[in-house]
């Protein structure tokens, strides 16, 4: 089963929006790819016009990198992949909206190259890959599979570069961070072992398109995203020649369903747990009588719940089931289990938007905490925290002003320590016992206590009395006294200068970063706000939480149920090697 949903704007000119490639689905091979709409969202206008013609595209774009003759089935898949280009060829260059993005072309070029290699390159014959990989065990098996991933990455780099040069693909934007032909890719190579009711799957992927497995226990994520903090850490692109194709082998008991999906299928804003993604798929099967109807219903659903993304793509296949009706029986059993084990614990867990409720509560709690934070910046202790944050975050205007002011306070303190060390070293070299003025009383100190006191600042060198008959000692002490006085004046002047600089920038930094600073103060340093202010805020929070106790308990219960679900969902999940 193939699910391929892409946004379309209808009008005088039909406009397609989305970067997902047309998926490929056969029992031994599942493939999806998703071009990046951000870094690859700029249009390609300098391309060879012949690729807009269906009868010319293959010869222009692929024939020079595909030495073997391809069959009609493969050629039909190529044409289907670029159908949007063919449909809009008459007005392709009329505006940025009617052209196609670099991400659009990237997903199709990458997936078609991979399909070609798996179908026509003897080195990548699927049966041969399985024979090679499965003949090994443990780490040797992982290494053998990764070698195919590395070879495939190398081929993609080489052939995409040749295609880009021939067709005229280039970065057509001045925006920094743009990539040439960026795309994710997830391939599942499948081999059934019917004798042992099992299936072996070799995964090859880059980016955040995912491989999934579903069985009677529910949904399971198999691959993990090459993504951190909303930033893709690995993907196919000519702008990052160091990209990799990660690999993984897993064996599942049958019956089960395998599918690959792009992020438009799992990042729906309504989803606060993979359970809701599973329910979307199961409900589509429950309400349908054929795979075609399921695909239609899912596309209908994604047009509503998946509008955050321009396209939603899935390649779905069954293993060990006797057709659609047999699988539907398993779906109904799973739905019954969900109703008993999950919905039975919390009736409205799947019908009420508790994510929105939680966001509302968090926003209202923040309103209580930070209602009077506008006055916090006048508190000296808060100003000190702001100064520390400006330094730690290397706030450019502040750092630049400090540098212009000359030596920093830290540098002056370092000079002070060097001054003390020089004095202590001289006394230590010349005297073993000296007199110290302690509040008008002259005491003798032994060497260790004297030196420790001077270095730590507990004693001031001006309290040291050396024998008056020692002329050289008196001269040296007088010299040190002059230097010390000069240092004190410089330190005082520098301290005042730094305070003036801080005063100029504290309010500016506060205005720009008020929310971040206020959060830092409340979570880590709330004592600086004063007991009365803190007590007042905490009393309001306590009252608010009491008033919303029922919904808070439901949110907590929902979180607990989802955590229990996630244990099974992540059963086959392993951390990425990249």
Same domain, 388 and 507: yes
Do residue 25 and residue 147 come from a single domain? yes
Same domain? For 421 and 523 the reply is yes
**Sign of the Cα pseudo-torsion (523, 528, 533, 535, in order):** positive
For residues 322 and 385, membership in a common domain is answered with: no
* Distance of alpha carbon 208 from alpha carbon 183, whole angstroms: 10
In degrees, rounded to 5, the angle at the alpha carbon of residue 185 between the alpha carbons of residues 178 and 264 is 80
User: What sign has the CA pseudo-torsion 156, 161, 167, 171?
Assistant: positive
Whether 399 is in a domain gets the answer: yes
pLDDT per residue as tens, the chain (578 positions): 999 999 988 777 888 889 999 999 999 999 999 999 999 999 999 999 999 999 999 999 999 999 999 999 999 999 999 999 999 999 999 988 899 999 999 999 999 999 999 999 999 999 999 999 999 999 999 999 999 999 999 999 999 999 999 999 999 999 889 999 999 999 999 999 999 999 999 999 999 999 999 999 999 999 999 998 888 999 999 999 899 999 999 999 999 999 999 999 999 888 889 999 999 999 999 999 999 999 999 999 998 886 777 899 999 999 999 999 999 999 999 999 999 999 999 999 999 989 889 999 999 999 999 998 989 999 999 999 999 999 899 888 888 887 776 655 566 667 767 777 777 777 777 665 666 666 656 565 666 666 666 666 666 656 666 655 555 666 666 666 666 666 666 666 666 777 788 888 899 899 999 999 999 999 999 999 999 999 999 999 999 999 999 999 999 999 999 999 999 999 888 777 77
Are 310 and 181 within one domain? yes
185 shares its domain with 108: yes
Give the count of domains, the chain: 2
Helices (H), 343-408: 354-369, 380-392, 396-404
Question: Looking at residue 236, what DSSP letter applies?
Answer: B
CATH number, position 233:
3.60.40.10
Asked whether residue 311 is assigned to any structural domain, the reply reads: yes
Nearest to 209 by CA among 114, 331, 98, 87: 114
- Same domain as 392, residue 313: no
For residues 387 and 339, membership in a common domain is answered with: no
If asked whether residues 116 and 73 sit together in one domain, one would say yes
Q: Is residue 334 located within the same domain as residue 383?
A: no
Q: Is residue 446, in this structure, part of any structural domain at all? A: no
Q: Is residue 447, in this structure, part of any structural domain at all?
A: no
Does residue 249 sit in the same domain as residue 385? no
pTM of the full structure: 0.78
Co-location of 401 and 507 in the same domain: yes
Domain-embedded: residue 357: no
Look at residue 6 and tell me if it is in a domain.
yes
CA distances from 319 to 40, 258, 260 (A): 36, 8, 14
Is 326 part of any domain? Answer: yes
Q: Which contacts (CB < 8 Å, 24+ apart) does range 401-406 have?
A: 401/501, 401/504, 401/505, 402/498, 402/501, 405/494, 405/497, 405/498, 405/501, 406/494
Q: State the DSSP code for 341.
A: I
Q: Is 9 helix (H, G, I), strand (E, B) or coil?
A: strand
Residue 567 forms part of a structural domain: no
Domain extent at residue 93: 2-344
């Amino acid at each position: 089963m193939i699910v391929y949903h892409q946004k379309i704007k209808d009008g005088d000119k039909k406009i397609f929006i989305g970067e997902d490639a047309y998926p490929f689905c056969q029992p031994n091979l599942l493939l999806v790819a998703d071009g990046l709409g951000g870094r690859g969202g700029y249009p390609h206008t300098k391309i060879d016009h012949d690729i807009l013609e269906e009868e010319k595209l293959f010869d222009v774009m692929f024939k020079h990198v595909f030495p073997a003759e391809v069959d009609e089935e493969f050629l039909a898949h190529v044409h289907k992949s670029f159908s949007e280009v063919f449909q809009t060829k008459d007005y392709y260059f009329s505006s940025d909206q009617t052209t196609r993005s670099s991400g659009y072309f990237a997903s199709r070029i990458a997936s078609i190259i991979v399909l070609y290699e798996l179908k026509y390159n003897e080195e990548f014959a699927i049966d041969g890959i399985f024979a090679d990989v499965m003949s090994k065990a443990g780490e040797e098996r992982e290494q053998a599979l990764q070698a195919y991933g590395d070879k495939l990455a190398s081929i993609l780099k080489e052939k995409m570069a040749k295609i880009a040069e021939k067709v005229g693909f280039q970065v057509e934007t001045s925006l920094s961070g743009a990539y040439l032909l960026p795309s994710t890719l997830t391939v599942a190579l499948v081999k059934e072992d019917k004798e042992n009711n099992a299936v072996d799957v070799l995964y090859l992927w880059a980016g955040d398109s995912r491989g999934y497995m579903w069985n009677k226990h529910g949904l399971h994520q198999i691959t993990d995203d090459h993504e951190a903090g909303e930033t893709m850490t690995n993907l196919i692109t000519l702008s990052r020649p160091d990209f990799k194709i990660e690999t993984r082998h897993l064996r599942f008991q049958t019956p089960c369903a395998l599918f690959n999906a792009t992020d438009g299928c799992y990042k729906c804003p309504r989803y606060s747990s993979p359970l809701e993604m599973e329910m979307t798929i199961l409900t589509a099967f429950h309400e349908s009588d054929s795979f075609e109807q399921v695909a239609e219903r899912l596309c209908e659903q994604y047009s509503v719940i998946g509008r955050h993304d321009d396209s939603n793509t899935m390649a779905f296949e069954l293993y060990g089931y006797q057709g659609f009706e047999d699988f539907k029986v398993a779906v109904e059993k799973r739905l019954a289990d969900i109703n008993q084990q999950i919905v039975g614990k919390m009736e409205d867990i799947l019908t009420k938007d508790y994510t929105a409720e939680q966001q509302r509560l968090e926003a209202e709690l923040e309103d209580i905490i930070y209602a009077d934070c506008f006055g916090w910046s006048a508190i000296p202790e808060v100003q000190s925290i702001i100064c520390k944050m400006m330094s730690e975050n290397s706030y450019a205007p502040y750092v630049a002003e400090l540098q212009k002011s000359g030596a920093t306070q830290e540098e002056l303190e370092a000079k002070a320590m060097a001054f003390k060390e020089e004095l202590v070293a001289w006394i230590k070299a010349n005297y073993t016992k000296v007199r110290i003025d302690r509040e008008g009383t002259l005491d003798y100190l032994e060497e260790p206590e004297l030196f420790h006191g001077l270095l730590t600042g507990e004693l001031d060198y001006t309290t040291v009395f050396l024998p008056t008959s020692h002329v050289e000692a008196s001269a040296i002490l007088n010299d040190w006294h002059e230097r010390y006085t000069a240092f004190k004046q410089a330190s005082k002047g520098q301290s005042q200068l730094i305070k003036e600089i801080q005063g100029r920038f504290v309010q500016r930094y506060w205005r720009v970063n008020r929310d971040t600073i206020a959060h830092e103060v409340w979570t880590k340093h709330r004592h600086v706000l004063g007991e009365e202010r803190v007590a007042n805020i905490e009393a309001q929070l306590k009252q608010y939480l009491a008033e919303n106790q029922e919904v808070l308990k439901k949110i907590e219960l929902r979180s607990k149920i989802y955590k229990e679900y996630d244990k099974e969902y992540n059963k086959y999940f392993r951390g990425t090697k990249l």
